[in-house]
A and B are shown apart, each in its own frame.
Chain A
Amino acid sequence: MTSEAPRLTVVTGSEANNAWRKRTFSVISHGLLIGASILMLYPLLWLLSASFRPENEIFNATSLWPSSWSLDAYFRGWNGLRVSFSVFFLNSFVIAILCVVGNLLACSLAAFAFARVPFRGRKFWFAMMLMTLMLPGQVTLIPQYVLFRSIGWIDTILPLVAPKFLAVDGFFIFLMVQFFRGIPKELDEAAMMDGCSWWRIYWKIMLPLSIPVLATAAVFTFIWTWDDFFAPLIYLNEMKQYTVMLGLRTFTDSTGESDFGGLFAMSVLSLVPIFVFFLLFQRLLIEGIATTGMKR
């Protein structure tokens, strides 16, 4: 209360000076930020333009505008390997979509148990789940590989997809628990009174109210599985089963040295789905990261 008076004098005393300083500061920071954005995005734009360039121009032009545009590299790249990229894209989509379904189902079930259903040992299992978040995947890698090999799952997409139906991605459980806890408990208590089973509460009340968090989990799952390189590298050896990422890697090994245009064109295409998700769900992604601090 007493602080009101001095504050007024401070403001009026240096108002003009302040306004001027503010403007310079804002010009300088916008300059910095624009410069930084250009520097950061330049490589991406360069990749995009290189994919449209005539082959002989790729390595002697720093400008972003090709002298002539052509889609040749895209056609060359698409059929640049023994198996065409349409197969790789189809495989990647199938795997990513199955992973999304698995993660949404299994993680939301577990999250519902942790957030709502009382049972003995809930705290203990929740702590266990949090521990798995810190676990480096390499520790489980080899026994998992041995296990999947012994049941004949090598060279199938099952090792990539089936674990998602067992909720191995603790991050999403954590994300959903946080969200479920924010939904008023009165809702399920009232439903309980009316004789609703836990299953109906989960299916008819919780899930419909959790569309935002489910969407966030779906988008992140899609992007992470789309990007995943390690698991397909280990489990898929037949080129017919390759994902886009494996296709790209093979491209760099075999024809990549001679056909940079085709390699760049396929690289651009491999980024398109992620970029589309970024455009459509930017807000969801950014909020998802801000609230849970997910890694990327």
Chain B
Amino acid sequence: MNLQKVVSGFFFILAMTINFGFFYGDIDNPELHSEYELFVAFVVSLISTVLKIGDKTQLGAVLLATSLVADIQLLSAVIVWTVTEYLSIVDVEAFAAIISLSGGALLANITSVVLYVGETLKSKR
């Protein structure tokens, strides 16, 4: 067993699960979506991006790309939330945008985990 594999696998999957936790619930009901969850999802996503840097294989490149997509989606969600809140224009439309952005990030995270698991299954060691 390889500690590095445990750590990176942990973060890749955590990024997906927390993202799902934030995404789950009615898209227009702010009470069902915790801002703390979004914060943690974003931080974990950043961490998993950094963990993916340095793998120069073809698969490593695709993994990094999915992670970057998740980062950008989550960052957009965070920015939309912050801006609308401070300008006091939080409405259903803005909130739906936040949730759907995180939904996109969730798809990217799922792709990343599927690829990661696939690679692990293929590995002979």
A, B in one complex: no
Question: Chain A residues in contact with chain B, CB under 8 A?
Answer: none
